[in-house]
Chains A and B, each alone.
Chain A
Amino acid sequence: MNDPVDITPVPAEETPARPRVAASSIANARGWDFALMMATVVLFGGLGLQSFLGTVYVWWAENSVPGWNATGYPGYIQAMNAIAAPQIILLVVIMGLCVPKRLFSRTALLAVSGGMLACGLLVWAVDGSLAAGLTAYLFLAALIQVAVVVMTVAGARGPSYLTEGRLTKTGSGLLHLGFIVFAIVVVALQRSTLMLPVFWASTALMLVGTVMSFYADRLAVRRVQRVVVEREF
């Protein structure tokens, strides 16, 4: 989530000779990134629309149906959960695809993602609980994301990002890890004694990650020259 209009040249020592990659392969990767991002935005929009329609319905029902809070609310919650569940599962799956995309090529990514999904489905089938399956899936995603963050901090060339600069990349990695951990809290830990410590850990990851991602240029010890390109759309 850095600023695409600002072009920040990377210092020479941070740009070691990268393996030459065909332009079509880069374009494919960018297209894949864009598709995942658009799917994320569409799902955000879908959940947002559902939230809005739910709000309008609550407003209507509370004002038109006497005693709705006591009689109709449980049914409403069930309906909202049923509509949201596939969207949230898709969002989790896309997040799961976004995480290993930083480490694997597209072909390997599909295999890894398929493996993660299979693990989640297997746990669901064995345990009989969708929450358990989702937790298993999220746990695997969290493990990969931890690897991504560690590699990014270490300056390894593996992880690929849309953004430039190690601080920004680390921030992005941390905040996505925070979201995965928060999703684990919501799905699996709401009634656990671990809920609060894990929740605070996810909050810290998200907030620190967001600050690093947004304000990397101000936090950096070694600053690079900033060239701002302003233009008409």
Chain B
Amino acid sequence: MDIASTQAQIARLIDLLSTWGGPIQAVLPFAAIALFVVAVVPSLRRWLPVALGASLALLVIGEALLTWFHWRLWELCQVVNPMTGAVHGSVAVPLWVESEKLYVWGLVVAVLGMSIRRHRAELLPGAAITTALLMFGAALWGKPFTEPLPQFLGQYAGYLQAMGSGVPQLAEQAFRGMEGSRQFYYNTWYMWVHPPLLFISYGAFALSFIATLQMLRTRFSAYETTAYRWARFGYLPLTAGMLIGFPWAILAWQGESWWWSGKVNMSIMMWLLYTAVLHARLYLRRRGMWRWVAALAVLSFVVLVLTYLATYIVPGAHSYALAAPPPAAMASLTPIAGGIA
């Protein structure tokens, strides 16, 4: 493993991403503001499909660039055992972690927004506003093009430094941490499936929420049907995404306190509430039941937003909050990797 060459190639790759993606990132907040304005000003609404389509095109171009960046990282970032010299494999960083989360979520909501058929005129502004907020957040806080993957690149840089330090214990410790992250986080199939499923469900629930608000405003049952159709569309990937996390958590978080941790609690609460909505609406024909269904649906969406924020606010095994172990401490995963050392 040529450490100096790898470091130089990664630095050049980050520069290239910044050069090509920087303009996209610079345009994102302005595109978001334009989309927001077109969505909220009634006289401009006829341009909304065009504005949302243009935003989607911008997001897709950026995502293609990010995909290329991840592909190149996969080619460059190998994990080598310093004791044996054996190559354990490359790190396949998923396309929706760290700085790229809000960006991908915005992309998913834009796609869902463009696919709206039923009550399109009423739902499209909400989808556009949600997309605009996510684009704005991605540009301001995510910065996927100018500050890409800070945690992964920081950890890998530390690993390369340790490998080149000439101190065997330091190199072995860094290797254990990096290999733990590779095996049980970045390269695990779960990380490639779980987040996109949740992004799709969150996007669908956002549209369901908008339709619920329309139902509350107009008291027209057709909006409830639309809200239900988006809710059922979101419920399926939510259930699948949460379920497949169960065996992964048992294996990867063995020995860690993850039961009843903040994010897990909130996720369970969100799923329970949406399950309650889908059950309660079976009795929609009962007098006044629609109010309960609407209240549950609104509460469910509020909890969805809190669940997302919990990742950053509430410490725990499934969290980026301060008290959580930093990703570099994924070395704690290595004991279950068995034969790594």
Contact = CB atoms under 8 A, between A and B. Distances in A.
Contacts of A41: 276, 279-280, 296
Given A48-B273, A51-B265, A199 B246 contact: yes
Nearest to A199: B247
A206 B269 CA distance: 19
Contacts of B250: 190, 195
A65 B285 CA distance: 50
B236 A214 contact: yes
Given A6-B225, A69-B257, A203-B240, A47 B282 contact: no
A5 B269 contact: no
B257 A77 contact: yes
A228 B225 contact: yes
Nearest to B291: A233
B194 interface: no
A59 B321 CA distance: 10
A51 B257 contact: no
Contact of B265 (A1, A54, A207): A54
B265 A214 contact: no
Interface string B132-143: 000000000000
B88 interface: no
A45 interface: yes
A80 B303 CA distance: 20
**Chain B interface helix/strand/loop/mixed:** helix
B276 A44 contact: yes
A37 B283 contact: yes
A80 B269 CA distance: 14
Nearest to A232: B219
Contacts of A214: 232, 235-236
Contacts of A76: 260
A74 B257 CA distance: 8
Given A48-B272, A55-B314, A77-B257, A211 B236 contact: yes
A151 to B, nearest CB: 21
Interface string A25-64: 0000000001001001100110111011011001100110
A52 B282 contact: no
A34 B292 CA distance: 14
A4 interface: yes
Nearest to B292: A41
A191 to B, nearest CB: 9
A195 B221 contact: no
A232 B323 contact: no
A210 interface: yes
Contacts of A77: 257, 259-260
B239 interface: yes
Interface of B: 215, 219-222, 224-225, 228, 232, 235-236, 239-240, 243-244, 246-247, 250, 257, 259-262, 265-266, 268-269, 272-273, 275-276, 278-286, 290-291, 296, 303, 310, 313-316, 321, 323
Closest 7 A-B residue pairs measured CB to CB?
A: A51-B265, A51-B269, A48-B269, A62-B315, A44-B272, A230-B222, A62-B323
30 contacts: A2-B282, A4-B281, A6-B225, A34-B286, A37-B282, A44-B272, A47-B269, A51-B266, A52-B265, A52-B269, A55-B266, A55-B314, A58-B261, A58-B314, A59-B313, A63-B315, A76-B260, A80-B259, A80-B260, A195-B250, A203-B240, A207-B236, A207-B239, A228-B225, A230-B225, A232-B220, A232-B221, A233-B215, A233-B224, A233-B291
